[in-house]
Chains A and B, each alone.
Chain A
Amino acid sequence: MSQVHIRKDQIQKIALSTVGFVFLLYVYFNFFLGPLNRSRNTMLTAMKEKQSKLDSSKSEMSKAASLEQQAKTATTRFAAFKALNPEGAPIAWFPPRIKVFFANEQVDKAVARLEGSFGFKQAELADWLRYNWVINIPQADYARLGKAIADLENTEPLLSVTKISIHSLQDQPQFQQVDLVASNIIQKK
């Protein structure tokens, strides 16, 4: 059997080769393969993300189309709600409208004044405000008044009478003095 004798200079050369090998691995993984893999992984992630967006876009489109169909009634109704109130500050158009309305119902001298306006807690009504009005009618006949109030409630769906006060007049008991508190929902302009 022959024995392998390794000299000192050979050990140095082996050590040098090992260092060179480690250095090669370090350079390879840190400066070549590592960045390449990172960039590939980034691209893969971006591609998956875009692909999932593309896939979901089809369902989004079909969902939007079906929602458009379903929401036809709602949009029509919403437009009708919006159309109930004209442009401009409510204080400018609501009192005259009420005056004309009651005058058409043969209830004269109806005066509406604004008591206040408040926002809603519900997120759905963030664009809407509640206006509280006090409607004063100095003299009215009970039957006509009842009909007028019923007509008001039917023609103004977003108006709700919250308080009603009817008092007979001392000198003319066939007539009543009326105070109504009504709240009206109006979209913010």
Chain B
Amino acid sequence: MALHLNLLHEEILEHRQRQRDPLKIGIMVLVSFGVLMFLYYMWNAYRTLEIKGRLSVVERDWAKVEPTVTAAQKRSTELSNIIKTTRVLDEYVDNRFFWGPFLQKVALCIAPNTQLTSIDGSVLEDNKGIAVSIEGVAAGREPRAAAEDLRQMLTEQLAQSYGDVKVEFKALEDLDTIVNVSGTNLAMARYTLTVGFNPSPAAKTAAASPSPRPTRGPKQ
């Protein structure tokens, strides 16, 4: 085996140590990472700029249509409010109680031997019904029977148009007064009737098909 003498041992070792210098290697690694990160940053910056461009396009488009859309939204809200208000007003109009037909029905029930002295009626709170008080006098051989006839007639007439009709005597008393009707002297009775009913018709009538908004009034 040949003998090999390395006379530059120290120089070579020094060269190797310079090559393996951790600071140098670290700086190289840092620079490499720095370059990679810079490239990544640039890629991201490019994407961001692209998004910014798209955003400005969308904003331009929106700025063009915004006044129209805002006006349309405002108009929609206004129209919705009008529709709702009109619906509530229509309900109010439809749910009113019409006194004209009621007065007509009362007039139809009055026989020549009965007379009304007062009618006091009112619509109960929240349209829960109608309450009427009718006072009058009846004349006849049996004045109480005449008053009863009126009560029955009222019940019959009102039941044709209204629901839950109740006509009851609150008071019925004979009077000492004698009245002359068509040449005949007749006894008299004073009565007070309480009438209660629901303005909406009875169930069988309510089941019928809806009709246009009624215009009500006494028949001529």
A residues contacting B by CB (< 8 A) are: 6, 10, 13-14, 16-18, 20-21, 24, 28, 32-33, 36-37, 39-40, 43-44, 46-47, 50-51, 53-54, 57, 60-61, 63-64, 67-68, 70-71, 74-75, 77-78, 81, 122, 124-125, 127-128, 142-143, 145-147, 149-151, 153-154, 157-158, 160-168, 173, 181, 185
Alpha-carbon gap, A141 to B220, bound state (A)? 15
Alpha-carbon gap, A6 to B29, bound state (A)? 19
CB-CB contacts below 8 Å: B68-103 with A:
68-69, 72-73, 75-76, 79-90, 92-93, 96-101, 103
Inter-subunit contact B100/A147 (CB<8 Å): yes
Q: Does B178 contact A (CB under 8 A)?
A: no
One of B54-62, B145-153, B161-169 contacting the partner: B54-62
- Interface bits B15-56 vs A (CB < 8 Å: 1, else 0): 000000111011101100110010011001101100110110
Residues of chain B with a CB closer than 8 A to A43's CB: 48, 51-52, 55
Q: Does B104 contact A (CB under 8 A)?
A: yes
- Which of B34, B47, B61, B123 makes the CB contact (< 8 A) with A163? B123
- Which of A36, A46, A145, A154 makes the CB contact (< 8 A) with B55? A46
Interface of A is mostly: helix
Interface of B is mostly: helix
- Which of A57, A160, A165 makes the CB contact (< 8 A) with B96? A160
Alpha-carbon gap, A63 to B22, bound state (A)? 71
